[in-house]
Structure 1
Amino acid sequence: MFTGIIEKLGTVSKITKEADNLHISVTSEFTDELKIDQSVAHNGVCLTVVAIDEDTYTVTAIKETLQKTNLNSLKVGDKVNLERAMKLGDRLDGHIVQGHVDQTGHCTDIKNDNGSWFFTFDYDAAKNNITIEKGSITINGTSLTVVNSEQNSFSVAIIPYTYEHTNFHTFETGTEVNLEFDVIGKYVARLTNL
């Protein structure tokens, strides 16, 4: 379980393909605090630490994960949003994030609004995921509030801190992102379709 509050940016230092899996090595400031079998969200994708070597750790993404996320497009040197699993008893500063990406989307517009930014994203509405105005959305693991909710697109407003401390500052029009829709909204949508 995660909150969507990004702790650090990590840097992809190595990618190794093995059968249909990718072993992704990430250099991070908190590697020395990790242990084998621990869960870490990478751009919102919950992955298990399988190896640690000094300031670098390795996780494995299987075929299912690679098909549903943007992890298959990572390159050495890319920045990834990192969040360790929530501790029981901590404040829930973002919203309930499972680390299970529903689908990817694409950045379609970026507007600098004199000190903040508006990012617009589209996604395939045929997958039955929805956003609601002022509801929660997770983009590359970052907990955000939806504005301008449409059937297959939405926008989010980004404050300078979030822009600088997540990989949002690397986004361009066309950037593929991981989307995890609000878990409560998913349950309500499922119940109303029964």
Structure 2
Amino acid sequence: MFTGIIETLGRVDKIEIEQSNIHYYIASDFASELKIDQSVAHNGICLTVVAIENNIHKVTAIDETLLKTNLKDLAVGDIVNLERCTQANGRFDGHIVQGHVDQVATCISKEDQEGSWLFTFQYDPSLNNITVEKGSITVNGISLTVVNSLADRFSVAIIPYTIEHTNLKHVGVGTTVNLEFDIIGKYVSKIMALRN
């Protein structure tokens, strides 16, 4: 489990394709602290560390993950949000994040509001995921609060600290991001659907 509070940024050092799998080599300042078989969220996607050398760790994405996320769009040099799983004795600063991406969205607006930024993301509503105003949403692994909520889009207001310490600074109109909708909302939605 994760909280959506990004620990550090990683950089894609190398990409290898092996049949339908893609191996990503990620350079970061905490790679030497990782362990083989550890779960780490990469842009909100929970991936298992399979190798570590110096300041680079390796993870593998299978076809199912590549189909549902923006991992397939990564190129060498791209910046990735990284978070290790939360410790049971740690503070819970974000919200419950599983590292299981529900779908992708596209940035359709990025407005500079003189001290903050307002991002609007559009997604496919046919998958029945929902947001609510003042509810939680995970964008590229970042725990954020929804400002405006519509059936196929939502907005989030971003403070300067978050822009500087995540890869949102590289997100612009047309950029694809990973979304994980609030798990509590997903359960409530499922229960309500079963009652009808």
Shorter chain as denominator, the TM-score bin is over 0.9
Aligned to 2:114: 114
Deviation at 1:134, TM superposition (A): 0.4
CA distance in structure 2 between the partners assigned to 1:88 and 1:67 by the alignment = 32
Deviation at 1:161, TM superposition (A): 0.3
Aligned to 1:145: 145
Deviation at 1:133, TM superposition (A): 0.5
CA distance in structure 2 between the partners assigned to 1:164 and 1:64 by the alignment = 31
TM-superposition CA deviations, 1:160-192 (whole Å, max 9, x none):
000010000001100000000000000000000
CA distance in structure 2 between the partners assigned to 1:133 and 1:190 by the alignment = 19
Count of matched residue positions in the alignment of Structure 1 and Structure 2: 194
Q: CA RMSD in A?
A: 0.4
Q: Secondary structure at the match of 1:190?
A: helix
Describe how 1:1-194 pairs up with structure 2 within 5 A.
1-194=1-194
CA distance in structure 1 between the partners assigned to 2:20 and 2:122 by the alignment = 28
Amino acid at match of 2:156: V
TM-superposition CA deviations, 1:1-38 (whole Å, max 9, x none):
00000010100000000111000000000011001000
Deviation at 1:60, TM superposition (A): 0.4
Q: Secondary structure at the match of 2:151?
A: coil
Deviation at 1:89, TM superposition (A): 1.5
Contact 2:121 2:153 in 1 (8 A): yes
CA distance in structure 2 between the partners assigned to 1:169 and 1:147 by the alignment = 19
CA distance in structure 2 between the partners assigned to 1:171 and 1:4 by the alignment = 17
Q: Secondary structure at the match of 1:64?
A: helix
For structure 1, the 5+ residue unaligned runs are none
CA distance in structure 1 between the partners assigned to 2:152 and 2:142 by the alignment = 19
Amino acid at match of 1:185: G
Contact 2:119 2:155 in 1 (8 A): yes
TM-superposition CA deviations, 1:106-151 (whole Å, max 9, x none):
0000001111000000000000000001000000000000011000
Q: Secondary structure at the match of 1:184?
A: helix
Contact 2:32 2:53 in 1 (8 A): no
Calculate the TM-score normalised by the size of structure 2: 0.98
Q: Secondary structure at the match of 1:138?
A: strand
For structure 2, the 5+ residue unaligned runs are none
Q: Secondary structure at the match of 2:64?
A: helix
